[in-house]
Structure 1
Amino acid sequence: MIEYNSSKGNNMSATYDAASQYRVTASPVLSLDQIKYAFEKRLAELLPSSGNPGDLLTEAMQYAVLGGGKRLRPMLFLSIVRDLGHNAPALFDLAGAIEIMHAASLILDDLPCMDDAKLRRAQATVHIKYGEDIAMLAAVALLSHAFHIVACAKDVSANARICFTSILAQAIGAQGLAKGQYQDLHHVPQRPVADVARTYALKTGALLGVAIEMATTVAQTSAETTQSLRQFAAAAGQAFQIRDDLLDVGVGPAAAEGEINSKDIGQDARKATLPSTLGIVAAHLRMVSEATQAYFHLDVALGPHNQTRSLLAALFPQCDARNIPAPVND
């Protein structure tokens, strides 16, 4: 059972039931690709299934969650807790709640009153496929279902469930993602760089921060490790949002070329972004700087041989100091 003792701070321990049907997914001998495959299987099991072909609400929920994606947030959580020595099956359910909440936020982000997007992950957005009414209901249902998963997580103590529920609620609410989206929609296009960065921290960094806060809570990390991981999340969130904004104007790292055609571009033309504020070249340099800092803080927290860095390398391979050739002395 995963336990949380509020009288001693983040005091948690993880054990797992040998009979668990998905215990193997947490095995430290598996690669991250294998962990992701197992997570995808568990994610599908966590979603409601009515068995009624006319139930478009349930169908839309499944469509939104299972339609692909990098699974960056849940995989960060699972990878970090594994690097920190924890591998309880209950962690897969917590990771599922993170991804389901992220999927709900994307439905809302794509709506006509928000970004009015037609394409997401190379397929029609939820409101285009099912209508705005069903899309809104699916987003609300997914948000509530994410909390339900945490509240009912097997082998997680009541105190731990309360702690994780609070982390999720703060990330999605008026001081997190919702506030970031509000600032993104209602502030003037020309804004100081620091203001844009603060919106990025709320809009994108909030759910990355969930992965970190839940991982550090599970692993009872030291104050120093917790701070390094928070700094990693902050830098990674900035880099990822700049990367996304560069893709929105049709440019970006070579690794992201396939993503340019997977969703609408030009959605941020009337918004304040770092590419529009700083220019393409300066924004790209800032992305590289933030990603480099993310690598640094991750290695400080988890050691230079951590496996979590491979998730970052898939997005920012050019920012990993290990890929930069050493200077040759004449």
Structure 2
Amino acid sequence: MTNFSPHYQSLLTRFETYLERAFPHLAPEVAILEESVRYSLLAGGKRLRPILLLCVVEAGQGEIDNALPFAAAVEFIHCYSLIHDDLPCMDDDDLRRGKPTNHIKFGEDIALLAGDALLSEAFHLISAPERLKDYPAERLLAAIHCLAKKAGNFGMVAGQVADIGAAQSRGSKELLEFIHHHKTGQLIVASLEMGAILAGLNDHARDAICHFGEALGRCFQIQDDILDETGDPTKLGKPVGSDQKNQKLTYPSLFGLEESARLAEEAYQEALTYLAKTGLPQEPLQALADFVLKRRH
């Protein structure tokens, strides 16, 4: 993520340093799996979700170092979803973050398994017994449960399935909102809610931070849809027009670009309203919301 103050760059550097060693080294017999995982995991990117988690922990006066495994787990799951999204059976994309997609580089079989490895390692990492030195068992279990629910059948995976089905239908506002609330929004909400859990925030603050995440996720996805039509491929690191090629149901396809931009602004303002209700320091998370609305990649 770029264009942030030294404080955010410092937080990002701490996370990147941890991420480089978070995925374990594997046996020589499966070295290609480790290479495939690291190829995608360490290819850069916005790191929005882990930074959101760490910002909430920091705002709630929690320990950043203790939260790094959870931030990495969120990024593992996000990365696995991108690897699988790019497969020919899904979006069939050849370029991601300015490089050939994982299946182009390593083959569909290894790419599929790399995604599987990242998903399982996410939960292996945060369920390790040493986490009990940092957090009470009840808090730890709540964080793990939150991530599992919002990454799976009740969150990201459900959204992906609905997205596939939407390409074969006329679509509606209700279906579009369901897709993006689940496919994109729920992992963003999970990042924020896990941060709230780890920091020991009260129920009121936790509820407000989740609503902030839902609105922020909607803003993010609308901007993503807009950029797929109007963005610069050299900045995005991937071709534009993928949604149209795959007949995806998007905000611009349903509302047009001008109305989509208005809806993004509306979601941003809604996010700020909920952020004010958290009782947390506003600036760190508002800066991230500003980035989501104004981003060009």
TM-score of the two chains, using structure 2 as the length reference: 0.89
The 2-side partners of 1:69 and 1:51 are apart by: 28
Of 233, 250, 261 in structure 2, the residue corresponding to residue 284 of structure 1 is 261
The 2-side partners of 1:105 and 1:168 are apart by: 14
Deviation, 1:189, is: 4.4
What does residue 293 of structure 2 align with?
316
| SS of corresponding position for 1:313 | helix
Identify the range of structure 1 (53-62 vs 96-105) with the bigger mean alpha-carbon deviation.
53-62
How do residues 174-323 of structure 1 correspond to structure 2 at under 5 angstroms?
Answer: 174-187=153-166, 188-251=168-231, 257=232, 260-269=235-244, 270-303=247-280, 305-317=282-294
Identify the range of structure 1 (189-198 vs 279-288) with the bigger mean alpha-carbon deviation.
189-198
The 1-side partners of 2:282 and 2:233 are apart by: 29
Of 168, 183, 192 in structure 1, the residue corresponding to residue 147 of structure 2 is 168
Deviation, 1:145, is: 0.3
Structure 1 residue ranges, 4+ long, deviating more than 6 angstroms after superposition? none
Partner deviation per Cα, 1:48-79 (whole Å, 9 max, x = no partner): 22374971110011111110011000100000
What does residue 19 of structure 2 align with?
43
- Compared CA separation, residues 104 and 36, structure 1 to 2 (3 A): same
* Residue type of the alignment partner of 1:86: G
The 2-side partners of 1:261 and 1:88 are apart by: 30
* Number of equivalent positions: 284
- Compared CA separation, residues 162 and 118, structure 1 to 2 (3 A): same
- Compared CA separation, residues 55 and 279, structure 1 to 2 (3 A): same
Deviation, 1:166, is: 1.4
What does residue 63 of structure 1 align with?
39
The 2-side partners of 1:168 and 1:261 are apart by: 27
TM-score of the two chains, using structure 1 as the length reference: 0.81
| SS of corresponding position for 1:55 | helix
Of 67, 82, 92 in structure 1, the residue corresponding to residue 58 of structure 2 is 82
Structure 2 alignment gaps of length 5 or more: 1-5
- Compared CA separation, residues 82 and 105, structure 1 to 2 (3 A): same
Deviation, 1:218, is: 1.8
What does residue 21 of structure 1 align with?
none
Deviation, 1:84, is: 1.4
Partner deviation per Cα, 1:224-282 (whole Å, 9 max, x = no partner): 2222211110111111011111111124xxxxx57654112222110111110011111
Deviation, 1:222, is: 2.7
Identify the range of structure 1 (83-92 vs 135-144) with the bigger mean alpha-carbon deviation.
83-92
1:93 aligns with 2:69: yes
What does residue 120 of structure 1 align with?
96
| SS of corresponding position for 2:289 | helix
Partner deviation per Cα, 1:118-152 (whole Å, 9 max, x = no partner): 11111111111111000000000110000000111
What does residue 3 of structure 2 align with?
none
* Residue type of the alignment partner of 2:277: V
Structure 1 alignment gaps of length 5 or more: 1-29, 252-256, 319-330
Deviation, 1:88, is: 4.5
Q: Percent of counterpart pairs with the same letter?
A: 32
- Compared CA separation, residues 157 and 308, structure 1 to 2 (3 A): same
The 2-side partners of 1:161 and 1:224 are apart by: 19
Normalized per residue, the structure richer in helix is 2
| SS of corresponding position for 1:116 | coil
Is the contact between residue 225 and residue 301 of structure 1 (CA under 8 Å) also seen in structure 2?
yes
The 2-side partners of 1:164 and 1:183 are apart by: 26
Bigger-Rg structure (1/2): 1
| SS of corresponding position for 2:278 | helix
Identify the range of structure 1 (121-130 vs 304-313) with the bigger mean alpha-carbon deviation.
304-313
Is the contact between residue 84 and residue 302 of structure 1 (CA under 8 Å) also seen in structure 2?
no
* Residue type of the alignment partner of 2:174: A
Is the contact between residue 140 and residue 198 of structure 2 (CA under 8 Å) also seen in structure 1?
no
The 1-side partners of 2:171 and 2:235 are apart by: 26
Identify the range of structure 1 (297-306 vs 36-45) with the bigger mean alpha-carbon deviation.
297-306
Deviation, 1:45, is: 1.0
